[in-house]
Chains A and B, each alone.
Chain A
Amino acid sequence: LNAAPGRAPRQRVRFLPAPAPGGGGALELVAARVPVLADHPLVRGPRFRKLKIGAGHRLDVKASGVFVLGIGHGNKLLTDLYNCHLTKVYTVGGLFGKATDDFSDTGNLVEKTTFDHITREKLERILAVIQGTNQKALLMYSNIDMKTQEAYELAVKGLIRPMGKSPPIITAVRCLQFALPEFQLEIHCLHETQQYLRRMVHEIGLELKSSAVCTQVRRTRDGVFTVGDALPRTQWNLQSIQEAIRNCQLKVQTELEKTLG
């Protein structure tokens, strides 16, 4: 970063003595633009000695996926994005037949159960009911008076969302793959933690009269940032980072204007 050409040094107008155009000897003050010495690279030193990097929504050690970071002035946008309360999308993989103490497959085994009675329809029924109860929670925690016409209009458009603190809410769940004993879900949620998603996998197992552990939690979308915008490990260099920032700028701007006005 420091090797890149920096800002041009500031210029200021100074009155410098210069030999008069007329005859020799007399000195006159002539206005000239000169660079400010305080801006000289040898005086200032390297432009960047440390960078302020802020993190967006938390991502567990055991989880993977899109993780939003803000650099320098971008940290201010991070708080605004947090206040937008946009949904995040996770791909959660689960395994039937086991129950562990921390709900993931690396924990201590608590119980093993049979799972051959589980079918895709039963799973989808449970997912429908989860969606239903969370939909109710969505409307309740959004703190709008249900008796007003605007509450009705927002509910029709599906724009009601809790804009403050709320417990984790799941806006949509869908079963992507189902091959006993493994299954994969796509979960859209708000204000959640990855441990809550693992706990949900465990509770789905309990509802189906069996048990389940979570094998994989991968965040595929965080608000406006998708896997396509995210940089993999091999691209963690200055060039790609700068390009990624440039590509996302417009998206972030429009989303902030739309939500926060």
Chain B
Amino acid sequence: AMAGVVRRLLRRGLAVAAGPPNTRWLREAEEAAPVFQYAGKASQRKDRVFVWGFSYSGALGIPSFVRPDAGWKKPRRIQPTPYRLETEEKISSAACGYGFTLLASNTRDITKVWGMGLNKDSQLGFQRSRRDQTKGYEYVLEPSPIPLPLEKPQQTRILQVSCGRAHSLVLTDSEGVFTMGNNSYGQCGRKVVEDEIYSESHLIHQLKEFDSRVVQVVCGQDHSLFRTKKGTVYACGWGADGQTGLGHYNITSVPTKLHGDIAGVNIIQVSSYGDCCLAVSDEGDVFGWGNSEYLQLASVTETTQVNVPRHLPFKIGKVKEAACGGTGNVVLTEEGNVFVWGYGILGKGPNLMETAVPEMIPPSLFGWSDFSPDIRVAHVRCGLSQFAALTNRGELFVWGKNLRGCLGTGRMEDQYFPWRVTVPGEVVDVACGVDHMVSMVRSFT
């Protein structure tokens, strides 16, 4: 009886038979469907900061890793993969020290530099404690603004920051270099005061007396290097390994010009992180001075400390960029090849642990192949015992000792050859520290 009712309704055209969907109906339904827009034509790529490594010092800038703010969260000692750090402004320069980090932005706003991590030597300036207004924080867990004594705070721009073991340098475009932190070896460029207490100190020193404008500042472990526009290099700080390059092994508390093999040479880049220093000239030559206990300078001398810059006669082509680590060094040539030498995990497998002569890392390890022949390494960076390389496609490769997860590969084992770090974006720059790393990344779309 029900079937009869349905058939009568169908004949009268009152009920619609449910058969296979009509293609014309489907097409019309498709055309009538609403169109969603997720990104307009003028959508910009966003700039982000990713951090990874050891977090208990606060150097990653994420307080919930150290002091969980929700009941279900557990303290995270190590962040093994890149984690996004929210920042208020676009970060143009970052530097990782020994347990602390500095982030700087190119903005004209009053707050230009943020710091997080260890602050026992006021390497992040004075961070007033909220609980007790007279005391300062020893550990800063999230990016906190660093008050710099600028003359024109709304005009000066920060060009670059650099961090050493317990001191930091901030380079501005028109007001010279600001230094803060530990000064027991004169690394802040001011006279050493006996029994000075560095923690909770408000003192930020300003350095202006150079022969021309300073364009790059580099911190070694306990010394500082300044490169000027004219191509000269100044140094101050601890010199027991000759890392100040001034011809003696004493400490220097005032930035002094370097001579030796770099006198008269236009230096376009300097680098240091431990006790060895490298400089690259505009002609592509490499000069080195400082500690040579790990064969870093063994190609020119047998001595383990070199206190005058020496030219390193490598026949590897024109060098574009150099980076120094604690025991190993890496250079990048104009052709895009990466050469490593020194001691430690150098990136050519577990068999190559030390070499005095630069060895090339095969480009196929950086993604170069017949299928993609135009991949080239664009930048090289060094941490204390880690190396990082950035390709022109925005990929980040790391290798070296994986101290407390600082390589960002997600594994805790050491990496003996270059390994890709999965970052959700195109990596623009990376800063390597002892046990953590910070990268500036642009999103894909």
Residues of A within 8 A of B (CB): 97, 109, 111-114, 116-117, 122, 125-126, 128-129, 131-133, 135-136, 139, 146-149, 151-153, 155-158, 172, 174, 188, 207-210
Contact = CB atoms under 8 A, between A and B. Distances in A.
29 contacts: A97-B35, A109-B30, A112-B33, A112-B36, A113-B35, A113-B38, A114-B40, A116-B41, A117-B40, A117-B43, A122-B444, A122-B445, A125-B426, A126-B444, A128-B395, A129-B444, A132-B395, A136-B420, A136-B422, A147-B350, A147-B413, A149-B351, A152-B349, A152-B350, A155-B364, A155-B365, A156-B365, A157-B364, A210-B39
Nearest to B369: A158
Residue among B350, B351, B419, B444 having the largest count of chain A Cβ atoms under 10 Å: B444
B22 interface: no
B34 interface: yes
For the complex of A and B, list the 8 residue pairs with the smallest distance between their C-beta atoms, beginning with the closest. A152-B349, A209-B39, A209-B38, A114-B37, A149-B349, A112-B35, A156-B362, A172-B371
B43 A146 contact: no
Interface string B292-322: 0000000000000000000000000000000
A126 B393 CA distance: 11
A146 B40 CA distance: 44
A158 B422 contact: no
Contacts of A152: 348-350, 416-417
Contacts of B30: 109, 112
B393 A128 contact: yes
Main secondary structure of the interface of B (DSSP, over half): loop
B81 to A, nearest CB: 12
A209 B37 CA distance: 8
Contacts of B362: 156
A156 B347 CA distance: 11
A117 B44 CA distance: 10
Interface string B401-442: 000000000000111110110101010000000000000000
B14 interface: no
Contact of A146 (B365, B372, B413, B424): B413
Contact of B36 (A113, A117, A126): A113
A147 B36 contact: no
Nearest to A100: B30
Nearest to A208: B445
A117 to B, nearest CB: 5
Contact of A117 (B33, B35, B41): B41
B382 to A, nearest CB: 20
B424 to A, nearest CB: 8
Contacts of B422: 132-133, 136
A87 to B, nearest CB: 11
A148 B414 CA distance: 11
Interface of B: 29-30, 33-41, 43, 348-351, 362, 364-365, 367, 369, 371-372, 393-395, 413-417, 419-420, 422, 424, 426, 444-445
Contact of A155 (B34, B35, B41, B417): B417
A109 B33 contact: yes
Given A158-B369, A207-B445, 10 more contacts: A111-B33, A112-B33, A113-B38, A114-B35, A114-B37, A136-B420, A147-B350, A155-B365, A156-B362, A210-B39
Contacts of A156: 362, 364-365, 417
A133 B419 CA distance: 11
A153 B35 CA distance: 51
A153 B364 contact: no
A128 B37 contact: no
Contacts of A117: 39-41, 43, 445
A109 B38 CA distance: 18
A139 B364 CA distance: 14
Q: Which of A97, A109, A152, A208 has the most CB of B within 10 A?
A: A152
A128 B394 contact: yes
Nearest to B424: A129
Contacts of B29: 109
Contacts of B33: 109, 111-112
Given A112-B34, A117-B41, A146 B364 contact: no
A112 B36 CA distance: 6
B367 to A, nearest CB: 7
Nearest to B21: A108
A209 B35 contact: no
A39 to B, nearest CB: 54
Contacts of B38: 113-114, 209-210
A156 B352 CA distance: 15
B217 to A, nearest CB: 33
B82 to A, nearest CB: 13
A158 B350 contact: no
A149 B348 CA distance: 8
Given A109-B33, A152-B350, A209-B445, A174 B40 contact: no
A183 B372 CA distance: 19
A126 B41 CA distance: 18
A193 to B, nearest CB: 23
A80 B354 CA distance: 43
B403 to A, nearest CB: 16
A12 to B, nearest CB: 58
A163 to B, nearest CB: 20
A148 B417 CA distance: 10
Contacts of A116: 41
A209 B43 contact: yes
B409 to A, nearest CB: 8
Q: Which of A132, A153, A158 has the most CB of B within 10 A?
A: A132
Contacts of A131: 367, 372
A80 to B, nearest CB: 26
A210 B350 CA distance: 45
Nearest to B347: A152
